[in-house]
Amino acid sequence: MKVTLLGTSSAAGSRERDNTYLLLEHDQDAWMIDVGGNPLGKLKQAGMPLDRIRGVILTHFHIDHIFGLPSLLWGMWLGGRQEALTVYCDAGHAAQLQQILASYRTSEWPIGFAIDIRTFDWTKPSTLFAQGELSVSVFPSLHVGATVGVRAAVSERVLVYSADTRPNEWIAAQQRIDVLVHEATAARGAISVHTSLEQLVRFYPLERIGRVVAVHLTDDEPYGDVLAECEARVRERIALGADLMSFPV
Ligand SMILES: [Zn+2]
Ligand SMILES: [Zn+2]
């Protein structure tokens, strides 16, 4: 499996980053986790044709995580897509998603593909789908109401994406994580409903996590200073995410 960071900014926006969203690939198939920023441009830069995208997983309905969805759909329509696109969201937001689509009048576009909305109960871990060796599930985040993180596994290899969250015991309790993509909205301190890089380093059992990539970053925060203060064995496991950074899991 392969992950590409399509955006890495916190909600405040950034001079150089799109809002945080990810691309997950396995074999010839791909899924997006949230849709912020400039999805059509970023997918082109990542070399990902739209017709390889099978679905979109929405972690929560804060605007920085969903506002690119209409643009993505518009691009798929322009590209003549025929295959249905599955959009996963928590059951409590399905009506809002329908309203968003209705406000963009997607039903009036001469659209050739179905938008298949599938819901999950965000309050407990649940499997979204399994395809070949790949299995993708969600788990509750500690943010503002309905928010999930994403776990993707191919045989033994495990990716966990925290989504927006306070430090999360569910993640810390996992026996195996090869790559943890975790938010770090600030560099230091305890911040409401989010995690700082300093908390991330202290809270998680990094000796059990192969690699940590920090996303949802805020401009001008002293992330480098926090990393510089870490022991070398910790620092070498942590990378600050950048748009279009990609890595195998
Ligand atoms: Zn956010
Ligand atoms: Zn949020």
Span from the CA of 179 to the centroid of ligand 1 (angstroms): 20
pLDDT profile of the chain (249 residues), mean per 10: 98 97 97 97 98 98 97 95 97 97 90 93 98 96 97 96 98 97 97 96 94 98 97 94 97
Q: Which ligand is nearest to the CA of 165?
A: 2
Which residues lie near ion ligand 1 (Cβ < 5 Å)?
Answer: 11, 64, 164
Look at residue 109 in the predicted model and tell me its pLDDT. Answer: 85
The structure's pTM equals 0.97
For 46-76, the pLDDT digits (tens) are: 999 999 999 999 999 999 999 999 999 999 9
Task: Give yes or no for a contact between 80 and 113, defined as CB atoms under 8 angstroms apart.
Answer: no
How far is the C-alpha of 195 from the C-alpha of 135, rounded, in Å? 27
Span from the CA of 88 to the centroid of ligand 1 (angstroms): 17
What strand order describes the sheet that includes 85-90?
A: 115-120, 85-90, 53-57, 29-33, 21-26, 2-7, 246-248
Whats the size of the chain, residue-wise? 249
Cα angle 202-157-25, degrees, rounded to a multiple of 5: 105
Span from the CA of 18 to the centroid of ligand 1 (angstroms): 11
State the virtual CA torsion across 17, 15, 60, 150 in degrees, nearest 10: 20
Give Cα 37 to chain centroid, integer Å: 13
For 147-186, the pLDDT digits (tens) are: 999 999 998 999 999 999 999 999 999 999 999 999 999 9
CATH superfamily ID and name for 2-247? Ribonuclease Z/Hydroxyacylglutathione hydrolase-like (3.60.15.10)
